[in-house]
Amino acid sequence: MPIATPPYTATNKPQLDVLICAPRGFCAGVVRAIDAVEKALAIYGPPVYVRHEIVHNKYVVESLRRKGAIFVDELDEIPETKAPVIFSAHGVPKSVPLDAQTRHFFAIDATCPLVTKVHREAEVHYKRARHVVLVGHAGHPEVVGTMGQLPEGAITLIETIEDVAHLTPPEGQELAYVTQTTLSVDDTAGIVAALKARFPAIVSPHKEDICYATTNRQEAVKRVAPQVDAMIVVGSPNSSNSQRLREVAERAGCPVSRLILRAEDIDWSLFAGIRKLGLTAGASAPEILVEEIIDAFAERFDVRVETVSTADESVFFPLPRDLREQAAE
């Protein structure tokens, strides 16, 4: 049964300060992936096939589906076609582009360049006869893609500090580690510290694998969370970076921390009596959904909005080469 809300008027609405985190929302890799699908639709017309969700956000996926994108889990769901076939921002195992080549698909790789960086790191370690340890979440598309860059058995996935204690790498083989790009910065630091304590000679990435966008959004949440009564993270449940933002807010001392896709999903009973609300968005959540949440609160509260900024972002990734060349013609 819906929860009754008082018949607020402009004069008796309770005041609510909304602290909006910045940076928030789309990162450069997500913008590039979405633009790749839209550009392919503009150049070639529908359909455009996309393997897996281009990014983990239902609103974005449904918007692209209405424009003519067809999302599939695996390439064997795609009929023989000359239409573009796009790989999602999360990256794919090496077997996927090989399969696409065998079937003569026009494949476009929209993998985030920062994920591709992790793939190349793993390959370099393998060529140097190192066993690779991947810190990440089992089953996440990015992890599946990274593990799929190397032959079976060449890479070991660990998820927790406890996993480090039980890690049994090949005897006599040098170790190196890489990480998923969307992890909790603090959790990963603990796991890496445990790895280095147990394996002092383990080779680290030349540059941090957790991407700039993940780090910046978590830092903004850490700044805001202790100041507010509740925090809303706009994002999808299957979005790793969005889930980590919710966890960061919780650990920073925010009493109520919720991941919400749309305003219609708000459980208003959780926000009764609050005076300060924190608001952010995962890297795959569009700003229109943030505005939708603010509008929903403005119907029930006298809202005052303040932006809390912890970093400026100017990162830009160009479209995949095939689409750049077509756009230039």
Which residues are the active-site residues?
Answer: 142
Q: What is the rounded CA–CA span in Å between residue 243 and residue 251?
A: 13
Strand pairing category for 48-51 and 302-309: unpaired
Residue with tokens 């090496």: 94
Identify the three-state secondary structure at position 235: coil
Helix axes of 321-328 and 28-44: crossing angle, nearest 10 degrees: 50
The span from the CA of 74 to the CA of 51, in Å, is 6
Strands (E), the chain: 15-22, 48-51, 69-72, 84-87, 106-109, 131-135, 155-158, 175-179, 230-234, 256-260, 276-281, 302-309
Return all residues near 195 (Cβ < 8 A) that are at least 6 apart: 133, 135, 164, 177, 202
Report the run of H or E that residue 61 belongs to, with start and end. helix 58-67
Q: How many CA atoms lie within 13 A of 309 on its CB side?
A: 4
Q: Are 72 and 96 in contact (CB under 8 A)?
A: no
306: which 2 tokens? 């303040």
Give, in order, the Cα–Cα distances in Å from 174 to each of 36, 121, 199, 294. 39, 15, 10, 52
Round to whole Å and give the CA distance between 220 and 216.
Answer: 6
SS3 (DSSP) at 295: helix
